[in-house]
Chains A and B, each alone.
Chain A
Amino acid sequence: MLLFVIFCPIVAAILIMVGAPARKTALVASMLTLAITLFLLGSLQGWQRDYQHVTSFSISPDWHLSFTTGLDGLSMVMVLLATIVTLAAVWFTGKIDRYENAFYGCLLLISGGAIGAFASIDLFFFYAFHELALIPTFLLIGIWGSGNKTVAAWKITIYLAVGSFILLLGLILLYQSVPVASRSFDIRALKAAAALGQFSLEAQRHIYLLLLIGFGILVSLFPFHTWAPEAYASAPAPAAMLHAGVLKKFGLYGLLRLAIPLLPDGARHWTSLLVVLLLGNIIYVGLVTIAQKRLDWMLGYSSVMHMGYIFLGIASANILGVTGAAALMFAHGLSIALLFAIAGEIRKRTGTLLLDDLGGLAKVMPFAGLAFGLGAFAASGLPGFANFAGEIMIFFGAFKNGWEIERFCLFQIATVLGLWGVVISTVYMLRAYRKAFMGTLAERWKDLVDLRPMLCAPVALLVGALLCYGFFPQSFVQIITPAFRPYLSANK
């Protein structure tokens, strides 16, 4: 079942490349994956912390390398996110002029890579699946992008390639730092090794730093974030949806998966560094976001900024904060995908995303205005949306962090500063909304048409998931927490 979810998009991509009708195949494939994912979600036994639906094929006995996939609560939620956003992204892709088949193929490859990475238990494939998205992203931005696409495509590709090779070094070091007999890329075996205390403190520090830099580049942690806004601004909307919504969560997911169970001491050692960097994300990038004059750049920067909250949740090292981080990953993925989708539709109609040129669009495109408004409210953390649930858990968790680092009340200060981030994001989101959709309608936009009725479906899908999660966060929290409970203290 799970294998089908992973390989359905990839096989569909191959079929499309060799000439199957692009849009139909892609839609059918992504609907199928979503349906099966929902079925898997239903059959997931949430209270168990073991992996379920496990299948394993041995690849290299010498290296203890095997293709092992399985789901626990956390990866289930991420796979669900990936499949929802994939369906929405495929749906939003309209007519493509050049190489239509390749466009859909690339989209599905990114999606298949992301799903594969989230569902892999084996670290080698966890890494390799993520990289599957690298070349399609390069092509998507390069061929179908807009604006300064050449620079953007090079930047994202080289950044991510270097980042992932640093990550690879970290993973190899992780593999080598257990005794020869128990070496394995299987995360369950590594957890067992960690339980026996086989990762020395020094090794943990080195590995964690490598992982933090590697994942940090992939997630656009503060000093390594410059690739992200430009790439998202230039990418075609479906690519930006998938990349910002799903693929970027890979790094955060990796930190949650590896750092907390395997490297607690390493994580603790570098906490101060991480907190400073994530404040850079929240405050510095937040202020930069306010200064943006184009909608796509603003969304790109805002997605960088929100990563700061998620890092804060991961750094908090208690069950509330970490669960909040996982929740916000899911919520942010949906909301940013929605925003990029609407922005893409606006660009398609108007040809510009300069905020000063737009204005009053809600009069001619009421549904787009509504959808963008909902996305903007969600992204700025309005209660009722999933983002709010995630953020509030993160802030509570971080304020009472698991390690109780007394020095300078680091986490308390960080939380207070992080709360200002909510204000910042409200400022830029509402400003963008006002400038683009409210006010007077320019003469030249009089004839714009609203989203076709067909496009209401993916919007409804994304908004529905956001609201559903926002009103019933407990049901998701219940399936996420078992993954962390053995490793973290509950919030006392």
Chain B
Amino acid sequence: MITAPLLEIAVLILGMVILMFEAFATKIDKRLLAFAGILGLAAVFVASFFVAPSPSADQATGFWSFYTADSLSIFFKQFALLTTILVLIMMIDYAPVVENSVAGGKLRSALGEFFAVPIFTCAGLMYMASAIDFIFIFVSLELVTISFYVLVSFTRRNPVTLEAGVKYLVLSALSTAFLVYGITWLFGVTGQTNLQRITESLANTGIDRSAALFGMVLVLVALGFKIAAVPFQIWVPDVYQGAPTPVTAYLSVGSKAAGFVVLLRVLRPFLMLPETHRLLVLIAILTLIYGNLAALPQGNLKRLLAYSSIAHAGYLLIGVACFDGRAVIFYLAAYLLMTLLSFAVLVIVSQQTGDRISDFDGLGKRSPFLAFAMLIAMVSLAGVPFTAGFLGKFFIFYAAIAQRQIALLVVGVITVGCGFYYYLKVVRAMYWQSTAKMDKIPISALSRFAMSALILAIIGLGVYPQPILDALKR
């Protein structure tokens, strides 16, 4: 039987092996490394379905006091693996851009790292899903963040990318500082770093509540940065636009999902406090309004997706504010599918034309398959029934109605209306507008397969959501 920690170890070994090949086998086509990475991760993904359950959190000691293998964490390990596999597929399509902007035409020297670093990020995301101790949360978060520092500014000849990299570095470091400071406050008040024990000691009356709350707010600031919640969203549009497109996709799915998992775990001790609740509702409303309104006038699709990722953080926060973990997780799963699908199309199309919405003009004629994939992604992001995105919103609104969160519902419905406008703007460009360019856009077989799988998954989950609901019950 496989135990959960073996999965991360396997992923780490895979990453190191690929790095070794990158260093010593200079003659090979570096794309092989990506294929090897995809195959390796796929093997781990399959293995993750046969993981033995861990001892329950109450009597956990030693290693198991900071690492859990509950159904939530297993689900998110699979989530991280799947995301990384899809991102690697996108990276293969994106490789020509990297070659041009890094090596200056000199061999394919930098590509290996471009394919290896995401695997380490993946390991970090997987650790984060299992972390139930602040120290461990911090370490895995840093593994993710540092690998993203490298990835975001990877195409470093491009000044926009460089700017994005610096912005991400500075603001991310700042948020890390907040996290550490928050952890020290919580440790100072409770004398614990394990979340379970913090919960227990907070229940004691002898605890300084306001100090604990202050620590929690500091942690919330750091996580707000990760999930792109207002007012910590300033970095998102620029970094998303500047970073290499597959990395943007990775940031907006992987980083955000990990942030939400940690948020769900970290907030558990504090959810009983009304202050936390009010704060979350406020952040959710601000995030919804900002993300959706700012997305309205965008003409650049990459930037639009950045704002849309802020908007979706808002919907996810509704779920968090209503204490409905299941709704949040379902929404994240749907978000993974539709965001990666839209980025996959963007990666291919932007190499031919560009990443403005007007560059998608007439795509319906030029490349019906890509246009259809984008249509499904956009429709799902907007929330049309029979797509996974709709069910995500359905569960979120369900939770909000159960909690009678009138304000969240009003804002939620209005912003859904905004969402229809800016997502359908892309659809309009693809089908209404015509273009002079009529040449076909080439798609590799692997991407075509991945996109078809994503389309089927979006529609499949939109009609039959039970598999995910079951996976969480396990």
A interface residues, Cβ below 8 angstroms from B: 59-62, 99, 102, 127-129, 131-132, 134-135, 138-139, 142-143, 153-154, 157-158, 161-162, 165-166, 168-169, 172-173, 176
> Is B427 a contact partner of A99 (Cβ separation < 8 A)?
no
Contact B432 A158 (CB under 8 A): no
Contact in complex: A138, B413 (CB < 8 Å): no
Name the B residues within 8 Å of A128 (CB-CB).
385-386, 390
- In Å, the complex CA distance between A62 and B464 comes to 12
Chain A residue, CB-CB nearest to B466: A60
Tell me if A176 and B431 are in contact (CB < 8 A).
no
Number of interface residues of B (CB under 8 A): 32
Verify B424–A172 contact, CB threshold 8 A: no
User: Quick check: is B417 within 8 A (CB to CB) of the other chain?
Assistant: yes
Known: A162-B413, A165-B413, A169-B413. A131 touches B385 (CB 8 A): yes
Complex Cα distance, B398 from A143, in Å, reads: 35
B225 CB-CB contact with A under 8 Å: no
Q: Which one of B397, B431, B432, B469 lies within 8 Å of A62 (CB-CB)? A: B469
Least CB distance, A251 to chain B, in whole angstroms: 16
Which of A59, A62, A161, A162 contacts B463 (CB under 8 A)?
A59
Within 8 A of A (CB), among B349-391: 364-365, 375, 379, 382-386, 390
Q: Is the CB of A169 within 8 A of B364?
A: no
Choose one: A60, A131, A143, A162; the contact of B432 (CB below 8 Å): A143
Known: A60-B466, A162-B416. 19 other contacts (CB 8 A): A59-B466, A60-B464, A62-B469, A99-B431, A127-B385, A128-B385, A128-B390, A131-B386, A131-B390, A132-B386, A135-B379, A139-B431, A142-B431, A142-B432, A153-B428, A165-B413, A168-B394, A169-B397, A173-B401
**Interchain pairs with CB closer than 8 A, number:** 79
A173 to B397, CA, bound (A): 10
Whether A154 contacts B421 in the complex (CB less than 8 A), given A60-B466, A142-B431, A166-B413, comes out as yes
Taking A157-B420, A158-B420 as contacts, is the C-beta distance between A172 and B398 under 8 angstroms? yes
Interface residues of B in 386-408 (CB under 8 A from A): 386, 390, 394, 397-398, 401-402
Q: Is B465 an interface residue (CB 8 A)?
A: yes
Smallest CB–CB gap between A159 and chain B, Å? 8
Complex Cα distance, B105 from A215, in Å, reads: 61
Question: Given the interface contacts A60-B469, A128-B386, A134-B384, does A161 sit within 8 Å of B417 by beta carbon?
Answer: yes
Q: Is there an interface contact between A157 and B424, defined as CB atoms closer than 8 Å?
A: yes
The answer on a CB contact under 8 Å between B401 and A135 is no
- Taking the closest CB of chain B, its distance from the CB of A191, in whole angstroms, is 21
Q: List residues of chain B with CB within 8 A of the CB of A168.
A: 394, 397
B457 part of interface (Cβ distance < 8 Å) = no
A interface, over-half SS: helix
Q: Does B207 contact A (CB under 8 A)?
A: no
Tell me the bound Cα distance from A158 to B428 in angstroms. 14
Q: B427 touches which one: A61, A135, A169 (CB < 8 A)?
A: A135
Bound-state Cα–Cα, A289 to B440, Å: 48
What is the bound-complex CA distance between A173 and B379, given in angstroms?
25
B174 within 8 A of A: no
Is the Cβ of A161 less than 8 Å from the Cβ of B416? yes
A sample of 16 inter-chain contacts (CB < 8 A) reads: A59-B464, A61-B466, A62-B466, A99-B431, A102-B364, A131-B384, A131-B385, A135-B379, A154-B424, A161-B382, A161-B420, A162-B414, A165-B413, A165-B417, A169-B397, A172-B398
- Min CB distance A234 to B, Å, is 13
Residue of B382, B432, B465 with most chain A CB atoms under a 10 A cut-off = B432
* Chain A residues within 8 Å of B401, by CB: 169, 172-173, 176
Chain A residues closer than 8 Å to B397, beta-carbon distance = 165, 168-169, 172
Interchain nearest-CB distance for A318 vs B (Å): 33
A135 and B384 contact, Cβ closer than 8 Å, known pairs A142-B431, A142-B432, A161-B420: yes
Q: Give bound CA distance, A60 to B466, whole Å.
A: 6
**Minimum distance in angstroms from B288 CB to a CB of chain A:** 13
State A166–B432 Cα separation when bound (angstroms): 29
Across the A-B interface, give the 9 residue pairs with the lowest CB-CB distance, nearest first.
A128-B385, A162-B417, A131-B385, A161-B420, A142-B432, A165-B413, A60-B466, A172-B401, A165-B416
Interface string of B411-453 (1 = CB under 8 A from A): 0011011001100100110011000000000000000000000
Q: Nearest Cβ distance between residue B370 and chain A, in whole angstroms?
A: 15
Cα A59 to Cα B409 in complex, Å, equals 26
Report B-chain residues with C-beta under 8 Å of the C-beta of A158. 417, 420-421
The residues of B that contact A61 with a CB separation of less than 8 Å are: 466
What CA separation (Å) do A169 and B427 show in the bound complex? 26
Shortest Cβ gap from B298 to chain A (Å): 16
Could you mark each residue 446-474 of chain B with 1 if its beta carbon is under 8 Å from any beta carbon of chain A, else 0?
A: 00000000000000000111100100000
Q: What residues on A are CB-neighbors of B432 within 8 Å?
A: 142-143
In the complex, the chain A residue whose C-beta lies closest to that of B401 is A172
Minimum distance in angstroms from B92 CB to a CB of chain A: 27
CA distance A131 to B394 in the complex (A): 14
Which of B138-195 touch A at CB < 8 Å? none
Considering only CB atoms, which chain A residue lies closest to B412 in the complex?
A: A165
Q: Is the CB of B409 within 8 A of A142?
A: no
Q: Which residues of B contact A129 (CB under 8 A)?
A: 385
Q: Closest approach, in angstroms, between the C-beta of A96 and any C-beta of chain B?
A: 14
